[in-house]
Amino acid sequence: MIDLDLTEEQALLEQSVREWGAREVAPRIRELDREHRFDPKILPQMADMGLLGCSVPTEYGGAGMDYISLGIVSEELEYVDTSLRVIISVHAGLNCLTLLSWGTEDQKQRYLVPQAQGQKISTYGLTEPDAGSDVRGIQTVAVKRGDRYSITGEKMWISLADVADNFLVFGWTDLEKKKQRDPSGISAFIVERGFKGFSSSTLKEKWGILAGNTGSFKMEDVEVPEENLVGRPGEGFKIAMFALDQGRYTVAAGATGLIRASRDASIRYAKERKTFGVPISDHQLVKEMLAQMESDYQASRLLWLRAGFLKNAGRRNTRETGLAKWFSTVASERAASDAVQIHGANGYSDEYPVGRFYRNCKGAVIYEGTREIHKLMQADYALGARQDRPTRCELPPIK
Average pLDDT per consecutive 10 residues, the chain (399 residues; last block may be shorter): 86 98 98 97 98 98 98 98 98 98 98 98 97 95 98 98 98 98 98 98 94 98 98 98 98 98 98 96 98 98 97 96 98 98 96 97 96 97 95 94
- The Cα–Cα gap between 317 and 111 comes to 26
pLDDT of residue 4: 82
pLDDT of residue 390: 87
Q: Smallest Cα–Cα separation from 256: which of 318, 317, 327?
A: 327
Q: Do 257 and 74 contact (CB within 8 A), yes or no?
A: yes
Rounded to the nearest 10°, the torsion over CA 257, 259, 260, 262 is 120
In single-letter form, the type of residue at position 82 comes to T
pLDDT of residue 317: 97
- The Cα–Cα gap between 211 and 81 comes to 8
In single-letter form, the type of residue at position 384 comes to G
Could you list the beta-strand ranges (E) of 160-194: 166-172, 186-192
- The catalytic residue among 78, 128, 333, 368 is 368
pLDDT of residue 204: 86
Q: Establish whether 35 is a catalytic residue.
A: no
- The Cα–Cα gap between 321 and 311 comes to 10
Walk me through the domains of the chain, giving residue ranges and CATH numbers: 8-121 (1.10.540.10), 123-237 (2.40.110.10), 240-383 (1.20.140.10)
- The Cα–Cα gap between 111 and 120 comes to 8
pLDDT of residue 233: 98
Q: Indicate the SS3 state at residue 257.
A: helix
pLDDT of residue 378: 97
pLDDT of residue 18: 98
Quick one: which H or E segment has residue 110?
none
- State the alpha helices, DSSP H only, in 161-283: 175-180, 236-272
pLDDT of residue 1: 67
- The Cα–Cα gap between 110 and 113 comes to 7
